[in-house]
Homo-oligomer: A and B are copies of this chain.
Amino acid sequence: MIGLSLYQEIQADLKEVERELYRYVDAPHPVLAESSAHLLKAGGKRLRPAFALLAGKFHNYSLDTLMPLAVALEMIHMATLVHDDVIDGSFTRRGIPTVKAKWGDDISLHTGDYLFARSLILISSYEDQRIARILADVSVQMCQGEIQQIATSYDLGQSSRDYFYRIKRKTALLISASCQLGAIAVNAPNQWIRALKYYGFHLGMAFQIGDDILDMIADEEELGKPVGSDLRQGILTLPAIYALRYSPRKQQLADLLVERPKTEAEVKEAIKIIRESGAIEFSFDVVERYVAKAKRQLAVLPDVPAKDTMTYIADFIRVRSF
Are A120 and B106 also in contact (CB < 8 A) when A27-B144, A147-B29 are?
no
Mask of A37-56 contacts with B, CB within 8 angstroms, 1/0: 00000000000000000000
Contacts of A155 in B (CB 8 A): none
- Alpha-carbon distance A140/B75, docked complex (angstroms): 13
Determine if A124 is an interface residue (Cβ-Cβ < 8 Å).
yes
Are A31 and B151 also in contact (CB < 8 A) when A105-B86, A106-B87, A110-B146 are?
yes
Contacts of A147 in B (CB 8 A): 29, 31-32, 107, 110, 114
- Which residue of chain B has its CB nearest to the CB of A151? B31
Determine if A241 is an interface residue (Cβ-Cβ < 8 Å).
no
**Cβ distance A306 to chain B, nearest Cβ, rounded Å:** 28
* B139 with A117: CB separation less than 8 A: yes
Determine if A83 is an interface residue (Cβ-Cβ < 8 Å).
yes
Which one, B27, B109, B129, contacts A127 given CB within 8 A?
A: B129
Are A110 and B32 also in contact (CB < 8 A) when A117-B136, A120-B132, A133-B124 are?
no
Contacts of A32 in B (CB 8 A): 143-144, 147
Task: Report how many copies the assembly holds.
Answer: 2
- Which bracket fits the contact residues of A? 35 or more
Within 8 A of B (CB), among A48-76: none
* A120 with B143: CB separation less than 8 A: no
Contacts of A133 in B (CB 8 A): 121, 124
* A113 with B143: CB separation less than 8 A: yes
* B121 with A140: CB separation less than 8 A: yes
Determine if A28 is an interface residue (Cβ-Cβ < 8 Å).
yes
Within 8 A of B (CB), among A303-318: none
Contacts of A143 in B (CB 8 A): 32, 110, 113-114, 117
* A136 with B120: CB separation less than 8 A: yes
15 contacts between A and B (CB under 8 A): A27-B144, A29-B147, A31-B151, A32-B144, A32-B147, A87-B106, A87-B109, A87-B110, A109-B109, A110-B143, A112-B113, A114-B140, A117-B139, A120-B132, A124-B132
Report A's interface with B, CB cutoff 8 A. 27-29, 31-32, 83, 86-87, 105-107, 109-110, 112-114, 116-118, 120-121, 123-124, 127, 129, 132-133, 135-137, 139-140, 142-144, 146-148, 150-151
